[in-house]
Amino acid sequence: MVSLSPLARRVLSYVPFVLVLVDLRYEGVSCGKGGSVESHLEMGKKLLAAGQLADALSHFHSAVEGDPKNYMAFYRRATVYFAMGKSKSALPDLSKVIELKPDFTSARIQRGNLLLKQGRLEDAESDFKKVLRSNPSEKDEEEAHGQLKKADEIQRIVVEARADFERKDYSTAIALLDKVIETCIWDVESRELRAECFIQLGEMGKAISDLKAASKLRNDNTQAFYKLSTIYYNLGDHEMSLNEVRECLKLDPDHKQCFSHYKQVKKLNKQILSAEELIQQQRYGEAVSKYESVMKTEPNVLQYRLTAKERICHCLSKDQQGAKGISVCSEVLKSDPHNVKVLKDRAEAYLQDEQYEEAIKDFETAKEHSENDRQIKEGLERAQRLLKQSQRRDYYKILGVKRNAQKKEIIKAYRKLAQQWHPDNFQDPEDKKRAEKKFIDIAQAKEVLTDPEKRSKFDQGEDPLDPESQHGGGHHNHFHGAWESFQGYNPFGSGPFNFKFNFN
């Protein structure tokens, strides 16, 4: 059994009453190989009562085809359409019933109700007035009076709403249109007017809801699709904008506004998708260039500029360009201070630029708005370790290289400093002692930064030569091991040496 809607049950309540009044004898009228009109009507009636709507509809189709002047066949089919929630399909059938039998009160009341829901108020009033002039039953008279009064009231409200709209009193107009749409649920014009009010007030989500309804209620509503596309575009949703403008062009390929807008959205969409693909491929420099092109393609919509800068910020952070990343990320955060993604990216850029306290602040701010983000938690812990580490010794600073320095640069810096601080260069005992300590620091820095595993640990805030970090092995022993290595190892070659170098 199919459950029927309240509207369907109400419509079906007219059927027994109609059957009492109408003589359903159409013997001799053939429906072709499907049987007589009468048999289709009877079978359709039984199936309708059983809730088998699709089968009932099939029989009433056959009855209509068998006798196009049989108003009951049209009425029955309209009844099934109502029960199936296809009120639009019911309206032509009800009009046909009234054409064939103008005094069919039930059909006229139902058509008046449909016209009222569509916002066709004058047509609805006409039907209700004709019902009242046709000597109706007490029940039909009561309903026609009530609906006629409602139609008059709605007409008055519509006039007031339009006047408020013209005065730019959009909030008042919306309140009035709410009342109209509560009754005229399929009224396209009222929904479009309310959508325009929402647009003027900046309530784009509500405008979208009304325009989507309007695009469905009117089959050829190209303007609704165009407005939807432009709203999505201005909100920065290029994909939804593209979908909606394509719907407009399906209805009218020559629509000038939609075609012009389509070219713009398609170009922008292609650039953004291309940029994101480059990011996935870790081709960050090319992605930055592509997002710079996005800003040139659409310089007027702030959301695209912010999105482009957000993604450029991400690329620079990933590409180890800390200083540039900080600058771009900061631009975005001026407009969107709680953007968690940008806060995380700027924090990473701060780490690359060795601004550990600033990185900690960004991670903490991001955590306030996304407590369960594992990346934020891990980033904050890493920043805190790096801050603590920077307050002790920093192997990058010891060698005077950047944190993203290649191995070749590290070895070059090491050799230069080892030559400079070689203890044999110093005669004064205190200077020699200081040079020995400096030389060991240089050797340890080179040891850590040229070993991928140790360097990775150090970059995460852990000193692989620090017993506090290692929870074992002593720094004291490693210190002396390095000193012994220094005493018998030539940092510039492969054999032993005795500190007797002359540097030109």
DSSP 462: -
- The vertex-196 CA angle with 194 and 202, nearest 5°, equals 105
Domain contains 125: no
Backbone angles phi, psi at 30, to 5 degrees: -90, 145
Q: What backbone torsions phi and psi does residue 422 show, to the nearest 5 degrees?
A: -60, 130
Tracing tokens 């990216």 back to the chain, one arrives at 345
Q: Environment class of residue 79 by beta-carbon count within 10 Å: exposed (0-12), middle (13-18) or buried (19+)?
A: buried
Per-residue tokens: 298: 């659409």
**Chain center to CA of 304:** 14
Q: Give me the half-sphere count of Cα atoms (radius 13 Å) on the Cβ side of residue 327.
A: 4
Reading the block at residue 294, the tokens are 């996005």
Name residue 36's beta-bridge partners: 30
Within 52-137, residue ranges assigned H as helices are 53-66, 71-83, 87-100, 105-117, 121-132
In angstroms and rounded to an integer, the radius of gyration of the C-alpha atoms of the chain is 40
In a domain, 89, yes or no: no
Print the domain residue range for 467.
Answer: 397-504
Chain Cα centroid distance, residue 246:
18
74's tokens: 């049209």
What's the token pair of residue 4?
A: 């029927």
Q: What confidence score (pLDDT) does residue 429 get?
A: 84
Question: Does residue 330 lie within any of the structural domains?
Answer: no
- Per-residue confidence of the chain (504 residues) as pLDDT tens digits? 445 555 555 545 544 434 333 333 333 334 444 578 899 999 988 998 888 999 989 999 999 899 999 999 999 999 999 888 888 889 999 999 999 999 999 999 999 999 999 999 999 999 999 999 998 999 999 999 999 999 999 999 999 999 999 999 999 999 999 999 999 999 999 999 999 999 999 999 999 999 999 999 988 999 999 999 999 999 999 999 999 999 999 999 999 999 999 999 999 999 999 999 999 999 999 999 999 999 999 999 999 999 999 999 999 999 999 999 999 999 999 999 999 999 999 999 999 988 999 999 999 999 999 989 999 999 999 999 888 877 777 888 889 998 889 999 999 999 999 999 999 999 888 788 888 988 998 999 999 999 999 999 888 888 888 766 554 444 444 444 444 444 444 444 433 334 443 333
The domain total for the chain is 1
Q: What is the pLDDT of residue 123?
A: 95
Cβ(26)–Cβ(59) below 8 Å: no
- CA-closest candidate to residue 236, choices 335, 370, 368: 335
Q: Which residues contact 318 (CB under 8 A, 6 or more apart)?
A: 279, 282, 284
Query: What share of the chain in percent tops pLDDT 70?
Result: 86
Distance CA 294, CA 307 (A): 10
Question: What is the CATH classification number for the domain harbouring 445?
Answer: 1.10.287.110
Say how far apart CA 466 and CA 472 lie, in whole Å.
9
Give the DSSP letter string of 48-60: HHTT-HHHHHHHH
Q: Is 412 part of a structural domain of the chain?
A: yes
Classify residue 439: in a domain, yes or no: yes
457 residue type, one letter: K
d(CA 350, CA 348): 5
The two structure tokens encoding residue 141: 């008279």
9's CB contacts (< 8 A; 6+ apart) are: none
- Reduce the DSSP state of residue 122 to 3 states and report it: helix
| C-alpha dihedral (481, 485, 487, 489), degrees to nearest 10 | 180
Nearest to 82 by CA among 10, 177, 156: 10
CB 102 within 8 A of CB 67: no
Q: How far from 308 is each of 305, 313, 322, 349, CA to CA, in Å?
A: 5, 9, 18, 17
Asked if 84 and 57 touch (Cβ cutoff 8 Å), the reply is: yes
Determine, yes or no, domain membership for 127: no
Amino acid at 173: A
pLDDT of residue 5: 55
Does some domain include residue 413? Answer: yes
- Domain assignment of residue 407, yes or no: yes
